[in-house]
Amino acid sequence: MSATLEDLKKTFAFAVPADVLAKLDPAKPLTAQGVDSLAMTAMAVAVQNAFGVKISVAEGLKLKTLNDVLAFVNKAR
């Protein structure tokens, strides 16, 4: 079964402050929405652990939006 945006947001609950997470626009770059480097790192870890995928450096650079992350997870699984 494919992961959904909601699954993704649940995964990020402890990586990103709740107020920032609630307002995230899935189509906009995360870095432009108050997600700092510490939170980005925690999100990358959460994705790897929750979905059992490995993010390479080159792939990681392309995961700019929540939609990008979702597509990556569903393709990699």
Q: Which residues bind other proteins (CB under 8 A)?
A: 14-15, 28-32, 36-38, 40-42, 44-45, 48-49, 55-61, 63-64
User: Shortest gap between Cβ of 51 and other proteins (angstroms)?
Assistant: 12
Tell me, rounded to whole angstroms, the distance of Cα 50 from its chain centroid: 11
User: Shortest gap between Cβ of 2 and other proteins (angstroms)?
Assistant: 22
Q: Residue 18 gets which letter from DSSP?
A: H
User: Shortest gap between Cβ of 18 and other proteins (angstroms)?
Assistant: 12
Query: Which residue, 5 or 60, has its beta carbon nearer to other proteins?
Result: 60
Helix, strand, coil percentages (3-state) for the chain, rounded to 5, are 60, 0, 40
